[in-house]
A and B are shown apart, each in its own frame.
Chain A
Amino acid sequence: MERKIRVLLAKPGLDGHDRGVKVIAAAMRDAGLEVIYLGLRQTPEMVVEAAVQEDVDAIGLSILSGAHMTLFPQTVELLKQKGAGRIILFGGGIIPQEDMDKLEKMGVGKLFGPGTTTGEIIEYIKSATRGRRKEEAIF
């Protein structure tokens, strides 16, 4: 059976603006992805715990609060600690270009700003997750 791409979406930190992330969740569902939405006020610990349990291919964080330079690096670090570094971490929000560059150097995937189409994000997820998952020996 064809493997479905599973994506976890969340809004970490103190930020209640969830219209955007919900639009993206709906677009992903319509593109045939399985989207697990965690909701508001998540900590990086909550996000990574859920991502491990749900065995997702990618995590998308929507951050409009300005706390991106804290929340993204923490999540990257936790993913590494849990041995889940293969999970793509991407995001969206109001993030200045220079911060985007810094974050990408730290191992964060693509970050999308205002004006991005849902199609671009979905294309990115599909190509970034392709072949990322290494089949581990079960027996």
Chain B
Amino acid sequence: MTVLEQFWKGDQKALATLISHVENQAEDYQKVLSSIYSKTGRAYKIGITGPPGVGKSSLVDKLTLKLCQNGSKVGIIAVDPTSPFSGGAFLGDRIRMQSLAGKKGVFIRSMASRGGEGGLAKSTYEVALVLDAFGQDFIILETVGVGQIEIEVSHQADTKVLVLTPESGDSIQALKAGLIEIGDIFVINKSDREGAPKAVAHLNMILDIKRHTEKWNYPVISTSAIYEKGISELQEAILKHQKFLTSHLLLEKNRKEQLKNELKNILERKLKQLLEEKMGDSFNWEETLAKIYSRKDDPYSWSEKIFEALKK
């Protein structure tokens, strides 16, 4: 039996093989994606993002338990950073997802970012397609610990959850632009710690402005993943947001926007490939650099020439 045949029968090993195939951009990976594409678009994608150490993985663990209570299947893509120096990675999200071991319908895949910018891995979008086609009802995208501008998850998830802690306090102010703008639901995790009510109030204050001009109410939820507090509220908020998007016809609009983004990405990747092929190993960098360094040529007219040549 081929891998795809096993995949359609619901075999986890075949799913894992296809994910690797797509993640490694192995030969004909695009053909794999083409052949499964008609079966995608059914899964609901939840993005979980936030600074390092706020408890994203622990929260995903507990949230997934709730989501699969009524038999829903959940796929998790947990991204951790690739070292820019060695190209290796330490993927530790599973340490915090122990309660999902052996859980039927749950599939967890750790991904190294592999040059992906914006908090997700390079092939997260494609890997989510594979999980979608496999029949997962929910796909959770857990980003790396992010700063202010890593907002790639907003191009891929239907509902974006931003996780912070009571200690985020003053830095919430700094997050006003960027990260905070992409959240649909806000979570103060580790709310058993001091300062949680203040952090919630702080967030509410910032969000009030948005609430006045938009139809969604941007809820702020206190959770404690280790004491399993607030998880039901978080699940309800996500499902409420899903309903909100559907009833306001925003789901289709947002997904088309995501699709546009992805189509552009694919073309960019192809153009980059073409450029690398054309420039190849035979390109005489030394001569070019000597000319530009000595100001006989300049980078801008040089790139124009290269670009003109590529167009032919």
The chain A residues found within 8 Å of chain B, CB to CB, are 1, 3-4, 25-26, 28-39, 43, 45-46, 49-50, 52-55, 82-84, 136-139
Is B70 positioned at the interface, with any CB of A under 8 Å from its CB? no
Q: Which residues of B are in contact with A by a Cβ distance under 8 Å?
A: 2-4, 12-13, 16-21, 24-26, 28, 31-32, 35, 82-83, 86-92, 94-95, 98, 101-102, 107-110, 112, 114
Docked complex Cα distance between A49 and B112 (Å)? 19
A35 to B25, CA, bound (A): 20
Cβ–Cβ < 8 Å partners of A38 in chain B? 94-95
CB-based nearest B residue for A38: B94
| Most central of A25, A36, A38, A139 by chain B CB within 10 Å | A36
* In the bound complex, CA of A39 to CA of B13 (Å): 22
Report Cα–Cα, A49/B95, bound state, in Å.
14
Closest CB in chain B relative to A134 CB, distance in Å: 11
Chain A proximity of B163: nearest CB distance (Å): 21
* Chain B neighbourhood of A138, CB < 8 A: 2-4, 17-18, 21, 28, 32
Which of B16, B24, B31 lies at the interface centre, i.e. has the most chain A CB atoms within 10 A of its CB? B16
With A37-B94, A38-B94 already in contact, 5 other A-B pairs whose C-beta atoms are closer than 8 Å? A1-B26, A26-B90, A35-B88, A36-B92, A46-B101
Return chain B residues, CB-CB under 8 Å to A83: 13
B2–A53 contact, CB under 8 A?
no
Cα(A63)–Cα(B247), bound, Å: 54
Which residues of A have CB within 8 Å of B32?
138
When chains A and B are docked, how far (Å) is the Cα of A54 from the Cα of B16?
6
**Contact with A29, one of B12, B19, B89, B102 (Cβ below 8 angstroms):** B89
When the two chains form their complex, are residues A36 and B94 in contact, meaning their CB atoms are under 8 A apart?
yes
User: When the two chains form their complex, are residues B108 and A50 in contact, meaning their CB atoms are under 8 A apart?
Assistant: yes
**Residues of A contacting B107 in the complex (Cβ-Cβ under 8 angstroms):** 53
Can you report 28 A-B residue pairs in the complex whose CB atoms are below 8 A from each other? Answer: A1-B24, A25-B90, A29-B88, A29-B89, A30-B86, A31-B86, A31-B88, A32-B87, A32-B88, A35-B88, A36-B92, A36-B94, A37-B91, A39-B95, A46-B98, A52-B16, A53-B12, A53-B16, A55-B20, A82-B13, A136-B3, A136-B17, A137-B2, A138-B3, A138-B28, A139-B2, A139-B31, A139-B35
In the complex, the answer to whether B88 meets A3 with C-beta atoms within 8 Å is no
B98: A residues at CB distance < 8 A: 39, 46
- Tell me which residues across on chain B come within 8 A of A29, comparing CB atoms: 83, 86, 88-90
Q: Decide: A36 and B20 in contact? CB cutoff 8 A.
A: no
* Complex partner residue of A37 from B21, B31, B92, CB under 8 angstroms: B92
What's the nearest-Cβ distance from chain A to residue B179, in Å? 27
- CB-CB under 8 A from A46, the residues of chain B are 98, 101-102
Chain B, Cβ-Cβ closest to A55: B16
Contact B101 A49 (CB under 8 A): yes
Question: In the complex, what residues of A have CB within 8 A of residue B87's CB?
Answer: 4, 32
CA distance A33 to B3 in the complex (A): 26
Residues of A within 8 A of B94 (CB): 36-39, 50
- How far in angstroms is the closest Cβ of chain B from A84? 7
Q: Which residues of the other chain, A, contact B88 by a CB distance below 8 angstroms?
A: 4, 28-35
Name the contact of A84 in the complex, choosing from B13, B24, B83, B114 (C-beta under 8 A): B13
Q: Which residues of B contact A84 (CB under 8 A)?
A: 13
A25 closest partner in B (C-beta): B90
Kindly list chain B residues whose C-beta atoms are within 8 Å of the C-beta of A45: 101-102
Q: Are B95 and A139 in contact (CB under 8 A)?
A: no
Q: How far is the CA of A10 from the CA of B45 in the complex (A)?
A: 30
| Bound complex: CA A45 to CA B89 (Å) | 24
Q: Which residues from chain B contact A39 at a C-beta distance below 8 Å?
A: 92, 94-95, 98
The answer to whether residues A34 and B16 also contact, given A3-B24, A54-B110 and a CB cut-off of 8 A, is: no
Taking CB as reference atom, which chain B residue is nearest A47? Answer: B101
Complex CA–CA separation, A101 to B47 (angstroms) = 48
Task: Find out whether the CB atom of B95 lies under 8 angstroms from the CB atom of A37.
Answer: yes
State in angstroms the CA–CA spacing of A49 and B16 once bound together: 11
Question: Closest 7 A-B residue pairs measured CB to CB?
Answer: A39-B95, A29-B88, A55-B16, A46-B101, A32-B88, A32-B87, A55-B20
